[in-house]
Chains A and B, each alone.
Chain A
Amino acid sequence: MEIDVDKLKREWAGSTFDTAEFEISADDLRDFALACGETAPHYTDPSHPDFRAVPNFTARYVGRRILPDNFPRLSDGFGFDAGKCVTVLGPIRPGDKVTAKSRIHDIYTKTGRSGTMLFIVHRMEFSNQRGESVSIVDWRMVQRARS
């Protein structure tokens, strides 16, 4: 089955389909950083005056929905996580309340020896309690297109 990517993008890309809120804990910031091998105290020591989240901390979050309601089922499986791109816009600190808005940012296909793969880029845009943008996470989900 040929996937009409342009039609999919016209119909589904761009609109916010989910909003979720998260509260930032100092213990989670510290343990996330230490487990990854960070040694800089502004990532590992909650008493440091500039203590903050490591750059990709927001990549841990998923909203209540991964795709919009009624998004067409285009593969037989659930697919897998092909990668994440994190853009850092501002610091995230303990006690912050961040709001994440989710939308489909892009849809494209790649064809190789194993067939056509469908990539859906799920974008989460994070802002803090003051309305300041702090992070963008682009999550590339890949599925094998139905044949």
Chain B
Amino acid sequence: MSGTSYSQVEFGEELPALEPDVSLANVRRFTHAAGMTFPRFHDHEAARKEGLPGAIVPGIMSQGILAALIHRWAPSARILRIDTVFRSPILVDSRPRATGVVTDKNDGEHTVEIDLTIQNEAHESPVVGTATVAL
């Protein structure tokens, strides 16, 4: 399996950005796989009745998108811990952008710390997080 090795990674390195698919069809696929039945995740009208601007991406799907960002950068990486903060919703059918940057390296354990962000089209950061990753 190819991948980014520990020695290749530099402090401050930016991971290639990911523009995830948060279309209604894909979010429905996710909610079905995750057993999430709340209509606010897959029905715009139902979400609006709850006072939301439209259907919203589940927080754990955002977390999964950030994990995918890491795996696309380093396919053989093992995520040991991933912590995400859900500040505000990401809207279904919007165009968010996931990014990450290496903020620390642990030479003894060959792990790196990564700061993670999902930005919306207004350049706000509704989801942020950190991960500890073994390379």
Distance between Cα atoms of A32 and B68 in the complex (Å) = 11
Contact of A32 among B34, B59, B72 (CB under 8 A): B34
Does A27 reach chain B (CB closer than 8 Å)?
yes
In the assembled complex, 14 residue pairs joining A and B whose CB atoms fall closer than 8 Å, in A order, are A31-B30, A35-B61, A36-B64, A36-B67, A37-B68, A37-B72, A39-B75, A40-B75, A43-B71, A56-B63, A60-B36, A84-B59, A84-B60, A88-B80
CA distance A27 to B36 in the complex (A): 15
Which chain A residue shows the least CB distance to B83? A85
What separation, in Å, do the CA atoms of A35 and B20 have in the docked complex? 9
Kindly name the residue among B21, B60, B69, B83 whose own CB sees the greatest number of chain A CB atoms within 10 A.
Answer: B60
Minimum C-beta distance from A47 to chain B (A): 16
Q: Tally A residues with Cβ within 8 Å of B.
A: 29
Chain B residues proximal to chain A, CB less than 8 Å: 1, 18, 20-21, 26-27, 29-30, 32-36, 59-61, 63-65, 67-69, 71-72, 75, 78-86, 129
Q: Is B30 a contact partner of A59 (Cβ separation < 8 A)? A: no
What's the Cα separation between A83 and B128 when bound, in Å? 9
Known contacts A36-B61, A36-B65, A56-B64; is-contact A85 B82 (Cβ 8 Å) = yes
Residues of chain A within 8 A (CB-CB) of B68 are: 33, 36-39, 54
**Most chain B C-beta atoms within 10 Å of own C-beta, residue among A35, A43, A81:** A35
The CA of A27 and the CA of B30, in the complex, are separated in Å by 11
The majority secondary structure among interface residues of chain A is mixed
Q: Is A132 part of the binding interface, using a Cβ–Cβ cutoff of 8 Å? A: no
Chain B residues with Cβ below 8 Å from A38 are 64, 67-68, 71
Q: Do the beta carbons of A32 and B20 come within 8 Å of each other?
A: no
Q: Does A68 lie at the interface of the complex (its beta carbon under 8 Å from any beta carbon of B)?
A: no
- 8 Å CB contacts to B: which residues of A8-52? 27-40, 43
Task: Judge whether A82 is part of the interface by a CB distance below 8 angstroms.
Answer: yes
Interface string of A98-114 (1 = CB under 8 A from B): 00000000000000000
Smallest beta-carbon distance B121→chain A, Å: 18
Give A87 to B82 CA distance when docked, in angstroms: 7
Closest to A55 in B: B79
